[in-house]
Chain A
């Protein structure tokens, strides 16, 4: 994509019509003239994102402020076709006149150049933009990661099921011993029942005897009743029955004697019956007394026998239940063994998927590494591009922090240390193998903490640890004096000297740079930056906003655009070739400080040339 024209209606640059040529276009002008605004409006109109979130916010704000209620339009050519992008400050995205596949221009603001070096994501993005996208796609890890996620979910289900069976089996712990005990008891009861044969005989005899005694007692009772009846009848027989006077005294005397005798007999009969009654009652009482004793003994013997028989029933039922439970437990154990085999199989599949993901990330790393080596060579090793495989593991650390919450293990510090010392696979392997020693050795933490850590992680899903995205870390080092310094140790200017050549190494048709010379010394601008700009402009289009005269003059600018402002509006005061009078005048005045200042500097250099 090449940018042909920019048109603005409304806002600070209202009425701006600016054409861009192939090669180097330089925007110059005093501060506040709108150079940065022009570049930001191009970015806004095309919807080209900035490299860091802060730069994106700043860029959007500046474009909207400059545009106010107006519209910006950018006219582009893509492989010979014309395309127009338009956008107002209120639009969320630009509107394009047609849809094309194109590579958007590289637009880099001053703040981005300063920030990129310190932002790991931006550093990686710079390198990734230089990697062949086709080669990149063959190492896509999406599919393999999805496979790992699916296998991990399966593993979780299997482990859950296994835990349930282990728990059930644990509840039946000591079953064999309990069964052996019950069987021993059963044998003892059977022995005792066998030994109770005489008891059964005695019970039978006692029952017979008791029957006889009951019959005897009944006989006595019946006799007693009969005697009682008789006694009652006798008692009704009067003893003093009056006999009428008889004419014969002798007869009367005789009769009286007989009556007296009969009365005596009756009286005796009564006594005898009472005696008989007493005898029968005594005999019955004796029988009843014996009967109670026999009955008591019979009950005791019968109870004893019944106890033995009931005990045999109980122990029999217990033995039967325990045998069933034992069978049940054997079933659980078999299922646990089957699940172990299944889990081992899935772990193997998951590890194979992890290996594949590792191979693909290795492939990506290799692409980046090769490109880094090429770039380092290209910059004569003044700048070294370094790539650390999986060196960007913030997401893994974050997943560990989440996983360790509630572990009472000072989880933040521990997560940070673990993420640094143990790879996700190594940590997960230690947890799955319940091997805290491995954690002790690798992470150098105390045995107690390692045991608690492994136990805690066992209770949780480790899938998040395995699936936390790892990316390669990219850093730049500058050869400074006696060695290399990484971006974090570089001054702002040094960081810019590292970042700019890398940005310019990207082969895009159109590149827009905003004041890249800030923080740079002129030696670097002339020897490196201008050379890189010339090289890029040779085969494409470079648009640079600058205050440094070396860029348009030594960079052989095809067009110089002079922007000016009256305080309320910015406008193009001149636009033309480098050697146009207006351009020369603007470069001389604005960038060199005027002819007199330039002449005095030249005289100074001449005077000291041979020192």
Chain B
């Protein structure tokens, strides 16, 4: 069927807009500040909505940017996504609600744990068998194939689900030096990712809590922070991650401050397990940390940093001795 003149014109205009948008997104990394400012203005002119792609590109640019007018233009782009994107706004992920009694939390954990185990039981074995069969059937062609990549992704999903299940276990309380554990954890993640991480807090810092759950939560947040920051630029001192800890009223906190792109516009989606802004990544990190902290009667809160990046605060109650 022939398209009408208006339809063709509209399509042409859309294509032109797409081209302009592509060019402008590319220019966000230009070396000259005048070019970057023009690119940010162009995006704001052309965009019809804050798509995940624009959101990600603008947040990454904001994390790198230091010129006030370019920063302002990038913030204007992100403001199209709503008030959750404003810097300094704290968003719970998910909220630990004091009104929620223990039974409800336990019940929620039981349901999550049972359903996850059931899914794992059914799916993990199938994934394993599929990988074997594909290897045999495709032979040399398997390695590097789309099939291999998809099956690997499925394996990662199963691994993520297993970790998520671990995060819902009942806490086992022990007295330990949190500062020592976090310093070791930061060293280990820094070495594994070749990324600068500074652990900074009172030493020693003796608490009574579930060490494994805490480390599970913090390590997930830390790895998330490293991955996010690497999307902005190479691992260098200017982008070092800070891990700190201390006392809060009625409990304790551990905070991870990164220089990555910060929380995305469609932030609510992040709270759900299996959703990630990182392409080709199952994205169980935040959900696992949230579940682990919930098991400790705590919560995870996220806010956008003034200079880009996120501050993730894991807080939990002080256990009676």
Contacts and interface: CB of A to CB of B under 8 A. Distances in A.
Contacts, number: 85
Contacts of A441: 41, 44-45
B240 A381 contact: yes
A484 B32 contact: no
A377 B237 contact: yes
A423 B69 contact: yes
A373 B73 contact: no
A374 B240 CA distance: 12
A482 B33 contact: no
Contacts of A438: 41
Contacts of A376: 237, 240
A442 B41 CA distance: 7
Contacts of B68: 388, 390-391, 393, 420
B313 A377 contact: no
B105 to A, nearest CB: 24
B240 A358 contact: no
A479 B72 contact: no
Contact of B69 (A365, A369, A422): A422
A481 B34 contact: no
Interface in A442-486: 442, 479, 481-484
B33 A479 contact: no
B190 to A, nearest CB: 13
B246 interface: yes
Interface in A296-355: 354-355
Interface string B292-321: 000000000000010100010100000000
Given A382-B200, A482-B255, A483-B311, A388 B66 contact: yes
B129 to A, nearest CB: 47
Given A389-B67, A441-B44, A484-B257, A358 B200 contact: no
Contact of B257 (A374, A423, A483): A483
A425 B35 CA distance: 11
Interface string B24-63: 0000000111100110010011000000000000000000
A381 to B, nearest CB: 4
Contacts of B305: 483
Nearest to B41: A442
A1 interface: no
A247 to B, nearest CB: 148
Category for how many chain A residues contact B: 35 or more
Given A380-B198, A381-B240, A484-B257, A442 B73 contact: yes
A373 B244 CA distance: 19
B255 A483 contact: yes
A389 B66 contact: yes
A381 B37 contact: no
A479 B242 CA distance: 9
B66 A355 contact: no
Contact of B34 (A365, A423, A479): A423
Contact of B66 (A359, A365, A426): A365
Nearest to A438: B41
A106 interface: no
B202 to A, nearest CB: 10
Nearest to B73: A442
A483 B38 CA distance: 33
A420 B307 CA distance: 16
Contacts of A359: 32
B289 to A, nearest CB: 16
A358 B70 CA distance: 14
A387 B65 CA distance: 11
A339 to B, nearest CB: 26
B99 interface: no
Interface of A: 354-355, 358-359, 362, 365, 369, 373-374, 376-377, 380-382, 386-391, 393, 420-423, 425-426, 438, 441-442, 479, 481-484
Interface of B: 31-34, 37-38, 41, 44-45, 66-69, 72-73, 198, 200, 236-238, 240, 242, 244, 246, 248, 253, 255, 257, 305, 307, 311, 313
Q: Which are the 7 A-B pairs with shortest beta-carbon distances?
A: A423-B69, A381-B198, A389-B66, A482-B255, A389-B67, A373-B238, A373-B237
9 contacts: A362-B31, A369-B238, A376-B237, A391-B67, A423-B34, A423-B69, A481-B253, A482-B248, A483-B311
